[in-house]
Each structure stands twice: as C-alpha cells, then as structure tokens.
Amino acid sequence: MCGDNNEATPAAQTPPVQANNPIDLVPDEVVDDGASEHAGSIASSSASVASSVFEFRVENGRTYHKYKDGKYNIPNDESEQDRLGKPARNSSPSNKTLKLNWTDLQHNLFLLTFDNKLGLAPPNEPDSSVQRVLDIGTGTGIWAVEFGEDHPDAEVLGMDLSPSMPEFVPPNVKFEIDDLDEEWTYSRPFDYIHSRTMNSSINDWPLYLKKVFNHLTPGGYFELQEADLFPTSDDGTLKGDSPLMKCTDLMYEASVKFGRPFQQIPPLVRMMEDTGFVDVKLNRFKWPTNSWPKDPRYKELGIWANENLTSGLEGFCMAPFTRAHDWTREEVLVFLVDVRKNMNDRSIHAYWPLWSVYGRKPTEEEARAMES
C-alpha cells in the first residue's frame, strides 16, 4: 500500500480540448538525412519495505525490477538510470552541504521545455508556501531532489515501484518503494502532487485521479507531465507506414495486452474536472524528433529529444516487443535500426506532443459553495 514510508482503453472521441499555448514549428532549410543527432516525519505512518523489492530480473540483456513483476516494462539498469539521471556524491560525509551532479537527458529535456522550471503549477514558483509534496513515479529521484533544494521548507516524498533512488539526498527529501495501485495510507494530505511519464503505468485513470484528489489539501495542486506515444507532423512528412509509426503502433498494442493502455492526454482535462478539480489548465509543447526546426529553441529541444529517445529506444521496446509480440532480442535490435533512421532524418518534420495538465482541489469555502 502507498503510505508515508521510507487504463483504460483510449478515450472515445470528444470535442478537442484547446491548449493554452498553440505552437507552430517551421523546418530549417538545411537537410542532412544521414546526420546523427548527438550533438513528524513525512514517513511516519507506514510499514517497512520488504527485501523482495530489491530483487531484479535479467532478461534479453537488460535488468528489470522484480517487485510486482510486469507492472512496469522499462529497465532499471545502469544504462536506463544514466539516461534518466542520478546523483554523484562529490563531497565528504562530514560536509554540511551535499552537492549533486546530474548527468541526465530526460530531466534536462523537461527543464528546457518548461523554461528551467520543474513544473507549471503554482507550487513550483520560488515563493510558494508549499509544505508537503508527493512525486509519483519518482524514478531516480531527480525531480524530488531538485524540488526539495528549491523549497527547503517543504517535505518532499518520492514514490516508485522500482528501487532506483539515490542514497544521499537533502534532509527534506525522502523516498519510498510502493505500488500506486494499492491503497494509499498517507498520514496527512499533500499541497502538491506531481507525476510525469507515468502513461501506461496506470490501469484505471479515474481511480488514480480520485486517489490523488483525496490526498490533496484543500487548495492543493496536482500536475502531470506526459508525452504522447504517437509522433505526428504538421506537413505530412511522417508517413503512417514508416518504421517509427509502426514502432509506436506495436508499443500501443503491447500496452493493451498488458492491461495498461496508453492514455490520450487531452481527455484527462474533463476527467479531472469530473473528479472535482477546478482551474484545470492544459499546456501543449512539442518535442521534435531531431534538429529539423528552424527556431533555435526548438532546434535545441530536438537535439535533446533525439538523444534521449534514441538512447532509450531499446529499453522502451525490448520488453513490450518480446513479452507481448514474441519477438526475439535480435529481431527487436534489427527493427530499431530503421526506427532510429527515421528519428535522425531531418527531412521528416515530426514531433511528439508534450503536455502539462494541472488542476486545483477546491478550498473548503469553495467546496461548501459548490454544494449549496
């Protein structure tokens, strides 16, 4: 159960939700198809974690967590942690200040996207008075650690199914290994709950949102940050029969077989409102497949997105393709050669939509007014 220790199928077609920030990208004139794109305590109320959560499963040359085996199909080995980012301890234990070096792709990509902010919801502002924060699916803990450093008066709890968290962290940051599908038993509510890249880790979005809502303080915020599974192009240069599109189709089919289908993000706005959230905001960004955009900012985003996704591609695909589609490891590796060619082709003006959705739980006064 989730406590203070240590999907539904695609939504039916609904009227489109308008994002707050429409973006148009123009391709750069330079095209080089062969170029590679590498340029009390918060933990007071729960039981201790069993040793079984630290057991691992080796499969097709990658290492996966064994706790609640099969709920999460991305590796937790050294290669994947390097992509996500992990802290390097570069000070002696006697130092009062612990400095962390992060070698991260995905986290930096989010920071570039959000203008060096950890999120768009109001609790991310430097002067916010947020006191208790929960980071769901914390992974290596990089978001939780940086939020804790930015808000030293806040208690930050990072929760994940796989034990990849750092050992040395700021004193106001703690981690737990737990399963979000279980009952949540946190002793006190949170002012801010954050999650990102959790798509296809959630099998019941309405239930998940209800749990989040119930564990927020009145006036507290929830924010999720997710990229679409399917890339797109505004000018039709990404073809439906391309290896890249076939790859994402296979990923979606695997997620259905696993019982955790990828969720379209815009319909979550209505879902959050139906749960009781108010002031729900949807912001849309674009992660180009490579450096094809003319705009300097999006060109840089494309370089980071390409490196992040191409380096993680084997990890994203290996378990879904071998477990759900019965491919061999060799078949996966050969197929991904052509997928990477698509991602590196600057004549294909493709991008992944990236979303931030956040909403607020009504204050007690607002809740009473709604009931009257």
Q: What is the pLDDT of residues 112-169, one digit of tens each?
A: 999 999 999 999 999 999 999 999 999 889 999 999 999 999 999 999 887 677 778 8
Band (pLDDT 50/70/90 cuts) for residue 99 is: very low
Banded model confidence at residue 43, pLDDT cuts 50, 70, 90: very low
* Whether pLDDT at 96 is above 50: no
Superfamily per CATH, domain 51-88+99-371: Vaccinia Virus protein VP39 (3.40.50.150)
State the Cα–Cα distance between residues 164 and 86, nearest whole angstrom. Answer: 9
Higher pLDDT, 42 or 318: 318
**Mean pLDDT score of the chain:** 82
What does the domain layout of the chain look like in residue ranges? 51-88+99-371
More confident residue, 81 or 39: 81
Cα separation, 315 vs 309, in Å, equals 10
CA atoms of 324 and 255, how far apart (whole Å): 8
CB-based contact 234:349 (threshold 8 Å)? yes
Query: What is the pLDDT averaged over residues 167-192?
Result: 91
Residue 167 burial (C-beta neighbours within 10 Å; 0-12, 13-18, 19+):
exposed
Q: What is the DSSP string of 321-364?
A: IIIIS---HHHHHHHHHHHHHHHH-TTS-EEEEEEEEEEEPPPH
With beta carbons less than 8 A apart as the criterion, state whether 301 and 115 touch.
Answer: no
User: Would you say how long the chain is, in residues?
Assistant: 372
Confidence of residue 82 (pLDDT cuts 50, 70, 90): low
Find where tokens 């008075």 sit: 129
Percent of the chain with pLDDT over 70: 73
**Range name among 59-68, 125-134, 135-144, 270-279 with the lowest pLDDT average:** 59-68
Predicted local confidence at residue 56, as pLDDT? 56
- Would the pLDDT of 314 be above 70? yes
State pTM to two decimals: 0.79
Q: Residue 11: what pLDDT?
A: 41
For 2, list phi and psi in degrees, rounded to 5. Answer: -85, 125
- Helix, strand, coil percent content, the chain, rounded in steps of 5: 30, 20, 50
Residue 102 has pLDDT above 50, yes or no: no
Confidence band, pLDDT 50/70/90 cuts, at residue 282: very high
Task: Tell me the average pLDDT across 245-254.
Answer: 98
Residue 1 clears pLDDT 90, i.e. is over it: no
pLDDT of residue 160: 87
**Neighbouring C-beta atoms of residue 117, cutoff 10 Å:** 15
**For residue 348, pLDDT beyond 50:** yes
Separation of alpha carbons 7 and 303, rounded Å: 32
Match 């289908």 to its residue by tokens.
Answer: 261
Rounded CA gap, 342 and 239, in Å? 10
> What is the C-alpha to C-alpha distance for residues 150 and 120, in angstroms, rounded to an integer?
15
Instruction: Tell me which of 176 and 82 has the higher pLDDT.
Output: 176
pLDDT per residue as tens digits for the range 319-340: 999 999 999 999 999 999 999 9
Residue 359 CA: distances (Å) to CA of 127, 138, 283 = 19, 20, 12
Comparison of pLDDT for 74 and 49, the residue scoring more: 74
Helices (H), 4-65: none
Closest C-alpha among 291, 328, 296 to residue 310 = 291
Report the pLDDT averaged over residues 279-300.
Answer: 98
The percentage of the chain sitting over the pLDDT mark of 90, rounded to a whole number, equals 63
Identify the pLDDT of residue 291. 98
148 CA to centre of own chain: 18
In this prediction, residue 24 carries a pLDDT of 75
pLDDT at 81 (0 to 100): 54
Task: Compute the average pLDDT of residues 102-108.
Answer: 74
> Which sign does the torsion angle of CA 147, 282, 316, 238 carry?
negative
Q: Is the pLDDT of residue 13 over 50?
A: no
pLDDT over threshold 60, residue 68: no
